[in-house]
């Protein structure tokens, strides 16, 4: 479904992680998020952020979203792959055990 979009707009003020944003980035779809939204930095990175409704309208009408580097956005998703997360968790646990 994401691959049928020109741009993905996520106007949420609060989201636990922002998985739909990461899914769109994984499909190399430009993403627009709400600047004041509570999303992790990795999710907001390489997105275009809007301040308010008029700003969002301007971004869409002027196709500013086409400036988003979707290849860099795609790389953000690599940091959230299962094997990367597992490796980070293992390293964290090893460090905690060594310090005990």
pLDDT at 16 over 80: no
* Average pLDDT, integer, range 74-94: 90
- The whole-chain average pLDDT of the chain stands at 90
Q: Over the stretch 32-49, which tens digit does the pLDDT of each residue have?
A: 999 887 888 888 889 999
Statement: residue 15 has pLDDT above 80:
no
Range of the domain at 61: 2-99
Predicted confidence (pLDDT) at residue 75 exceeds the cutoff of 90: yes
Residues 27-36 have pLDDT tens digits of 999 999 998 8
3 state SS of 76:
helix
Q: Which CATH number is 67's domain given?
A: 3.40.50.2000
Residue with tokens 């009408």: 61
CB 65 within 8 A of CB 48: yes
Number of domains in the chain: 1
């Amino acid at each position: 479904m994401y691959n049928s979009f020109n741009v993905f707009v996520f106007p949420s003020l609060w989201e636990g992680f922002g998985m739909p944003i990461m899914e769109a980035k994984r499909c190399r779809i430009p993403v627009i998020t709400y600047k004041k939204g509570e999303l992790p930095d990795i999710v907001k990175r390489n997105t275009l952020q809007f301040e308010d409704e008029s700003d969002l309208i301007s971004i869409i009408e002027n196709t500013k979203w086409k400036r988003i580097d979707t290849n860099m956005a795609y790389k953000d998703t690599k940091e959230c792959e299962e094997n990367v997360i597992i490796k980070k968790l293992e390293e964290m646990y090893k460090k905690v055990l060594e310090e005990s």
